[in-house]
Homo-oligomer: A and B are copies of this chain.
Amino acid sequence: MKKVEAIIRPEKFQDLRQKLSAIGFDGLTVTEVAGTGKQKGKVGVYRSTAFEVTLLSKLKIELIVSEDRADEIVGHIMDACKTEQIGDGKIFISPVEQVIRIRTGESGTKAIY
């Protein structure tokens, strides 16, 4: 299993979510984050005064998916989030060894969806 983690423009989230939901991916986790890439934030705002100056607000979207569907998910993230302007974001893929649904105790791929 894989974690597909995307740091995206907040305004792209609704579109991404609809695309994923349309193909049956409803499990995802969203975190409000702040960041910089190659271009440093210029008009960045964020909650804490400690680092308000030059970070940009982004959303981190995490999807745990079965290995065979990771590429498909990446494709949908690209479709929904690419504007070709700097700051479109990044996708990171990492290994996940186990998934458990707390309600039922199910584990493995049947616990993902």
Contact = CB atoms under 8 A, between A and B. Distances in A.
B13 A50 contact: yes
A66 interface: no
A89 B90 CA distance: 26
A93 interface: yes
Nearest to A89: B102
- Top 8 nearest A-B pairs (CB, nearest first) are A88-B102, A93-B98, A88-B103, A29-B35, A91-B100, A30-B34, A89-B102, A31-B33
21 contacts: A3-B92, A10-B48, A10-B50, A26-B37, A26-B39, A26-B40, A27-B36, A29-B35, A29-B58, A30-B35, A30-B51, A31-B31, A31-B32, A32-B48, A64-B90, A86-B103, A87-B103, A88-B103, A92-B99, A93-B96, A94-B96
